[in-house]
Structure 1
């Protein structure tokens, strides 16, 4: 049996950020992931300057040999009507490829890593957690996404009726012929809202890589909406007519509708395993990073890992992101006041699409850096 102070299950941005943040704490840390890295990760793939600053990433260094697409504009519309294009002037986001981004973050972690290792068992024994009958620690952190095995230890949450968003996407490198006919531009991601406001699609070009996808509340209609969107984009010349491969799927919880507990005795959830994706956009990278930084602050000088002691983390999450379990009838993407036919008009407004949809819902420019990051 190998003993650690902390076992992190999941080596994505949340898990790697937590491990790196605790490198100087003196704690013995093990990070486990079922996949090897670099690995494919279903995600549209953009990060804001706030994320890069929180992670202390030098964009010049990162952009050397990796995809880093500066974003200055957004093209936003409702399906079936013309789009609105807004120029923000400065760089407001960066396009990245998750296979590169996640591997870069994990490479900065000096703690032992156990990759290509599915978690087959987690057992509570004498006040510690034992993983796969091999590794033991008094504290285990779930950072493995929506289906994280650590999150399953906490059940499905109160009521067990969490709103799960399902998404499908494809990302591929275009041939010279495809790149020539593709009208989507690298500095201008395209966001297309479903007419029923229960989801949105995107077309996102990063150099010669193209990412196309769609996410919705109701999974049973996902493929139908996706196929209709792809056909429309092809007919308008926004994307190449010949898309390779099949669309890959993933799922996540929206913060306001998630009911999943965040802590228990010797157990804590961060990132998508905690259901922290922003409610209006579904974006999860910044909440994942910030939850890991907040968890590190709680764990660093603590030896008491009881649920009562770890509740300080839950309080920090609520203080940062607000209260959870908002009534679901308000819908997924938009507040109650944005309803048809008003939504159709608003989505043709430069002011609304820029100030509300882009800057508030997707970029969260009104949210300052996490205080511990700003001070540290």
Structure 2
């Protein structure tokens, strides 16, 4: 049996950031993931300058060897209506490929790694977690996304009926002919909200790579909405008419609607495993990174790994992201005050789409970067 101080299940941005943040802690860390890296990951793929700052990544250096699409504008509208385009006058975000970005973060994480290693069993014996009858540690961190096996240990929380957002998307490298015909621009992602405001679709171009997708809170209508959106975008020339491959699905929880506990004796959840995606946008990379940084600080300072010692992590999450509303009737994307006949008017407003939708809900520009404090 191999002994560790902590085991992290999940090698995405949350898990790799936690291992990176604890690099000078002297703790022996094992990071497990069911897949080998680099691996495909369904995600629109964009990060704000705040994320790059928190991760101490120099965009210029990163962009020399990886896809990094500066974003200065957003094109926003409701499906079936004209879009509004806003120029922010500076780089407000970056388009990235998760295939590259996640591999970069994992590669720099100072930890032992067991990749292509699905978690088959988790047992608790004498204050130790035993994984696959092979590795053990007193602290187990779930960072494996919505379906993380560690999250299943803690259950769904009060009620057990969390609102799950389902999304489908495709990312591919365009041929030279497709790239010429595609009207979507790399520095101007497109966000198209469903008429009922229960979801939105996107078109993100990153150089010659194109990501198209749609996410909604009601899975049974997802494919119909996606097909309508793709057909409209193709008819208008925004995207190529010949899309390769099939759209892949994934799911996640929104922060205000997630009920699963964040911790218990000897266990913590971070990132999508904890249900931390921003409620208004569904964006999960920044919450994943920041939750990992907060967890690293708590792990460093904890006198032991009991729930009472780890409870400061839950408090830190609440202070950073706010108290969970736990009100499913508010819907997914928009607050109740937007979901009324004025929505169409608001979505045609340059001020509203820029100051509220983009800068506040999607970019969170009013929230300063979280710095590594361990």
Q: TM-score range by the shorter chain?
A: over 0.9
Please give the alpha-carbon distance, in whole angstroms, between the structure 1 residues aligned to 2:175 and 2:65.
19
Q: 1:258 touches 1:325 (CA, 8 Å); kept in 2?
A: no
Where does residue 338 of structure 2 map in the other structure? 338
Please give the alpha-carbon distance, in whole angstroms, between the structure 2 residues aligned to 1:360 and 1:144.
27
Where does residue 290 of structure 1 map in the other structure? 290
Where does residue 72 of structure 2 map in the other structure? 72
Where does residue 202 of structure 1 map in the other structure? 202
Where does residue 112 of structure 2 map in the other structure? 112
- Structure 1 consecutive aligned stretches of length 4 or more whose deviation exceeds 6 Å: none
Size of the aligned set, in residue pairs, is 374
Where does residue 243 of structure 1 map in the other structure? 243
Q: TM-score, normalised by structure 1?
A: 0.98
Q: What's the offset of the Cα at 1:303?
A: 4.1
Where does residue 99 of structure 2 map in the other structure? 99
Q: Secondary structure of the residue that 2:64 maps to in structure 1?
A: coil
Where does residue 81 of structure 1 map in the other structure? 81
Q: 1:10 touches 1:145 (CA, 8 Å); kept in 2?
A: yes
Report the CA distance shift for 1:98/1:137 in structure 2 as closer, same or farther (over 3 A).
same
Please give the alpha-carbon distance, in whole angstroms, between the structure 1 residues aligned to 2:171 and 2:341.
33
Q: 1:225-374 maps to which residues of 2 (within 5 A)?
A: 225-370=225-370, 372-373=371-372
Q: Mean Cα displacement is larger for which, 56-65 or 229-238?
A: 56-65
Q: What's the offset of the Cα at 1:276?
A: 0.1
Residue 224 of structure 2 is aligned to residue 224 of structure 1: yes
RMSD over aligned Cα, in angstroms?
0.9
Encode CA deviations 1:132-166: one digit per residue, 9 max, x unaligned. 00000000000000000000000121101111000
Please give the alpha-carbon distance, in whole angstroms, between the structure 2 residues aligned to 1:318 and 1:21.
20
Encode CA deviations 1:298-318: one digit per residue, 9 max, x unaligned. 001334101111111000000
Q: Mean Cα displacement is larger for which, 32-41 or 56-65?
A: 56-65
Q: Mean Cα displacement is larger for which, 326-335 or 353-362?
A: 326-335
Q: 1:259 touches 1:325 (CA, 8 Å); kept in 2?
A: no
Q: Secondary structure of the residue that 1:153 maps to in structure 2?
A: helix
Q: TM-score, normalised by structure 2?
A: 0.99
Q: 1:60-209 maps to which residues of 2 (within 5 A)?
A: 60-209=60-209
Q: Secondary structure of the residue that 2:359 maps to in structure 1?
A: helix
Give the unaligned 5+ runs of structure 1: none
Q: Mean Cα displacement is larger for which, 152-161 or 281-290?
A: 152-161
Q: What's the offset of the Cα at 1:61?
A: 1.3
Give the unaligned 5+ runs of structure 2: none
Please give the alpha-carbon distance, in whole angstroms, between the structure 2 residues aligned to 1:344 and 1:7.
48
Q: 2:78 touches 2:344 (CA, 8 Å); kept in 1?
A: yes
Residue 37 of structure 2 is aligned to residue 22 of structure 1: no
Q: What's the offset of the Cα at 1:325?
A: 4.0
Please give the alpha-carbon distance, in whole angstroms, between the structure 1 residues aligned to 2:303 and 2:227.
52
Q: 1:50-69 maps to which residues of 2 (within 5 A)?
A: 50-69=50-69
Q: Secondary structure of the residue that 2:302 maps to in structure 1?
A: coil
Q: Secondary structure of the residue that 1:326 maps to in structure 2?
A: coil
Q: What's the offset of the Cα at 1:339?
A: 2.1
